[in-house]
Structure formats: structure tokens, C-alpha cells
Amino acid sequence: MNQRNPAISKGVDWSLVWIWFILCSIGITSIFAASWHEGDNILQGFISLKTDYSRQLLFFIIAGIVGTFILLTDSKFFTATANLGYAFGIFLLLLVFPFHSRVKGTESIIRFGSAFQLQPADLCKLFVNLALAKYLSRVETNFTRPRSQLIATVIALVPAMLSIMQKETGLALVYFSFFLVMFREGLPPSVLIIGFSFAVLVVATLLMDPNTLALVLTGIALLAIYVLRRVVKRNRAVLFLIVGIWFVCVGVQRFVVPFVFDHVFQPYQVKRIYDAIGKDYVPKDQAAEAALESAEQKTGAKKKDNNYNVKQSKIAIGSGGLIGKGLLKGTQTRYDFVPEQKTDFIFCTIGEGFGFTGSIIFLGIYVLLLMRIVSIAERQRSVFSRAYAYGVASVFFFHIIINVCMTIGLAPVIGIPLPFVSYGGTSLLTFSIMIFILVRLDADRQMVLR
């Protein structure tokens, strides 16, 4: 179909490819800085495939090759296989249950042999992104209708549910980023506002004394009635609405949150949330305490607790100062004070080595990436490409924000990687494929894909 396009480079947005290349290079350098020890042979280290940075380099090359293949592919291929891919992704997620291997206490990884392992929950966001874009771009879909919105939500959240069942809450949360796509495509803003308010309410519940919070909520409700007293006089329904909202809020605060924390979440997850907001978690009963201990034994044989991780991470980043200590000079990251620093806490290496200046430049590259993707999305003619682009931007955004906030103590410790930088083959490949599909779709932006 594409015989009229002689060169694959036609229409390709090279800025994205360059950003991808730069970020991957920063990633490999950071992993190198975090794991290289004095006296190691650098060249041998890069060739041997025994070190983490050499493996990351290998995955980077593989990602480049895969990217080239994607650029050679017809963009219609992606619309055509979107639903199939989604089914495949769900299949992989289900496959985890019988074939999972226990790594770091999570049950979400399938191992092939000793070297290669796959985390479907990570990979699946690519398929969800494609499937969601496909659904939104269907001619029959009228996204103003609640039914369509519901279906889109289901498409996005089924893998999230499966991830939660595999005890990968962090990866599950990523799927909520697709609400940004839906918002762009017409989801009422009230959904986002309600969601945000709900999150605020939950955090407030954890932070404040229940009775005080109930009083505050009542106060807000009474204030709202007083301010809207003329409206209320004209329309009784508004009064009922306010009372209803108040009732729901108090209910959530009084019953739902405690219930969810005690019965739905794992004690270690609750602890992480408490750690993030800076409160001590006291297990409710002995069973919860025992579960917490066993989880800590499984996951934290080497890490003392998440508080320790965050503290060390903050020390590492904070000690970087304005310009940092320089590459390979950071004492905190060089000598393993920060746990998990090649994967989830890779940002520490940059923060300590290059300081505030380096961190801002690094984050600036991400901002450039996201803004570029959004502007690319807006120039698409087809809804599929645009929805897909927004999906990529949302997923990236979510990963970056949660990961960086986690390292600087603004978010709970959720084990999700920093795109292109964190060590990990699956995540690097997934993110690279996502970006190259976007580049491919963008190259064909004149076409209308369905």
C-alpha cells in the first residue's frame, strides 16, 4: 500500500528519535555510574554482558533494531492488530498466574531460562494504548455517551485489575493515566475533578483525626448551603445534592477508607502509603502485623524499609547541591547507600552527580519530550493517532512524575521505572516500541486511519 513512499525516513519526526537516543544514553551512563567500581575495566565491562550497563546497552541496541523494523512497518498494521494485541496482552497477563516466578515478592514475572524474563503487566500498557485508541477512533463510537466512556474505562482498567491481582499496584496505577486520553477525547472534566477530590479526601482521611475531618466536611457542606442559599431556595435538588455529597464523603472517610486499607490492600502497601505521607503505620491486628513482616522478609531482605530508601534517596539528591559532585564522584550512589538505585532510584545518580542544574536539564528533556508528543498529537488527522499519542504522553508523564516524586519524597514508594533511564529490558523495549510506533504513525499523519 505504501509503495509511493520510497524512503522510510519520509515524514519521520527526528526530534523524537533524538530525544529517545539522548535519554537512553543518559540511562546507560547513570547505570554505569551506579554500578561501576574502582578498578573495573570499562571496555570489558561494556562488552562482557555480565554487567548491568552492558545489558542495558544491548537492550538499547535491540530497541533500536526493533524501532527500525517498526518504522518499516505500515501504520495500518497497528490499527489492524490493535484488538488482537489487546487480547494477546490479556492472555499474557493471565498466563502469569500459572507460570509466574517469585522475584522481589511480586508474582508478575514470567521467566524464560535464567537470563530473560518478561513482565506482562509492564508490556500490556502498549496494547491497552493501541486498543483504546482503536476504540476511540471507531466511527460508531460516540464518546459523549456514558456507555462509550464506560467501555473505554473497562478497556483501560481490566489489565489494571489483573496487575493488582499480581500484587503490582504500582503498574496498575499506570493504567489510570489513560483517563487523560479520555479527557482529551471528551470525558467530562467532572470525572477528573471528582477523582482528584476523592484522592484528596483519602489523603485527608489518613492525615487527620476522623472526627475532626467529619466536622470539617460538615462545615464545608454548611458553608456551601449558605453560599448557595438562593439557588437552594429555587431548586431543592441542589440541597439534596450537597447533602448527598457530604454523606458520601463522610461515608468514604469513615468506612470505605478503613475498610479498603484493612481488607483490600496488603499491609506493606498500606505502610508505603503511610511512609509517603510521613506517618507511622501501626498494623491493625496481629494477622496484619505478621503479613507485614513476611512481606518485608520477602521484599526487604536487603532494604531496611521504604522510609530508609526514601531517606537515603533524599540525602543523595540533596547532597548534590547546585552543580553536583560530578560523574562517578557521588559518595552516596557510588557506595550503595541508596537501594534499588539502578532501577527505581536511578534519578538519585543524576541528582547527586549533577546537582540541581543537571536535574533540571534532565527533567527539561522529559518536558520537551512530553510537549513534543502533545503537539504531534494535535497535528494528527486521525483520531487513532491522536489518542495513541496522548496515551504515550500520559503513560510517560505518569511514570516520570511518580518515579521522580518517589525519589524526592513526594510520592509513596511505588516500584515503577523511569522511562528509558531505569535499568530493565522489558521497560526499555516497551517504551521504545511505544515511541517508535508514534513516530511511524506521525510519519503517516496525512492518512486517516481507522
Q: Does 393 bind another protein (CB under 8 A)?
A: yes
Judged by CB, which is closer to another protein: 59, or 135?
135
Question: CB of 30: closest distance to another protein in angstroms?
Answer: 16
Q: Does 315 bind another protein (CB under 8 A)?
A: yes
**Interface residues for another protein in 269-308 (CB under 8 A)?**
none
Q: Does 318 bind another protein (CB under 8 A)?
A: yes
Which of 336, 361, 448, 450: binder of another protein (CB under 8 A)?
A: 336
Which of 149, 332, 343, 349: binder of another protein (CB under 8 A)?
A: 332
- Secondary structure of the chain in HEC code, one letter for each residue: CCCCCCCCCCCCCHHHHHHHHHHHHHHHHHHHHHHCCCCCCHHHHHHHCCCHHHHHHHHHHHHHHHHHHHHHCCCHHHHHHHHHHHHHHHHHHHHHHHHEEEECCEEEEEEECCCEEECHHHHHHHHHHHHHHHHHHCCCCCCCCHHHHHHHHHHHHHHHHHHHHCCCHHHHHHHHHHHHHHHHCCCCHHHHHHHHHHHHHHHHHHHCCHHHHHHHHHHHHHHHHHHCHHHHHHCHHHHHHHHHHHHHHHHHHHHHHHHHHHHHCCHHHHHHHHHHHCCCCCCCCHHHHHHHHHHHHHHCCCCCCHHHHHHHHHHHHHCCCCCCCCCCCCHHHHCCCCCCCCCCCHHHHHHHHHHHHHHHHHHHHHHHHHHHHHHHHHCCCCHHHHHHHHHHHHHHHHHHHHHHHHHCCCCCCCCCCCCCCCCCHHHHHHHHHHHHHHHHHHHCCCCCCC
Q: Does 11 bind another protein (CB under 8 A)?
A: no
CA distance 218 to 220: 5
Q: Does 191 bind another protein (CB under 8 A)?
A: no
Which of 107, 356, 372, 433: binder of another protein (CB under 8 A)?
A: 356
Q: Does 122 bind another protein (CB under 8 A)?
A: no
Q: Does 374 bind another protein (CB under 8 A)?
A: yes
Q: Does 165 bind another protein (CB under 8 A)?
A: no
Which of 167, 272, 386, 440: binder of another protein (CB under 8 A)?
A: 386
Q: Does 186 bind another protein (CB under 8 A)?
A: yes
Q: Does 40 bind another protein (CB under 8 A)?
A: no
Q: Does 199 bind another protein (CB under 8 A)?
A: no
Q: Are 238 and 224 in contact (CB under 8 A)?
A: no
Judged by CB, which is closer to another protein: 219, or 321?
321
Q: Does 397 bind another protein (CB under 8 A)?
A: yes
Q: By CB under 8 A, which span of 27-35, 97-105, 206-214, 364-372 interacts with another protein?
A: 364-372
Q: Does 418 bind another protein (CB under 8 A)?
A: no
Question: CB of 225: closest distance to another protein in angstroms?
Answer: 30
Question: CB of 441: closest distance to another protein in angstroms?
Answer: 16
Other CB atoms within a 10 A radius of the CB of residue 180 amount to 18
Integer angstrom CA distances of residue 107 from 89, 103, 151, 277, 294: 16, 7, 28, 27, 15
Size of the site for another protein (CB under 8 A): 47
Q: By CB under 8 A, which span of 1-9, 20-28, 183-191, 441-449 interacts with another protein?
A: 183-191
Q: By CB under 8 A, which span of 267-275, 334-342, 414-422, 430-438 interacts with another protein?
A: 334-342
Q: Does 36 bind another protein (CB under 8 A)?
A: no
Q: By CB under 8 A, which span of 48-56, 78-86, 246-254, 315-323 interacts with another protein?
A: 315-323
Can you give the binding site for another protein, defined by CB under 8 A?
Answer: 38, 143-144, 180, 183-186, 312, 314-322, 331-332, 335-337, 351, 355-356, 359-360, 363, 366-367, 370-371, 374, 377-378, 383, 386, 390, 393, 397, 401, 404-405, 408-410
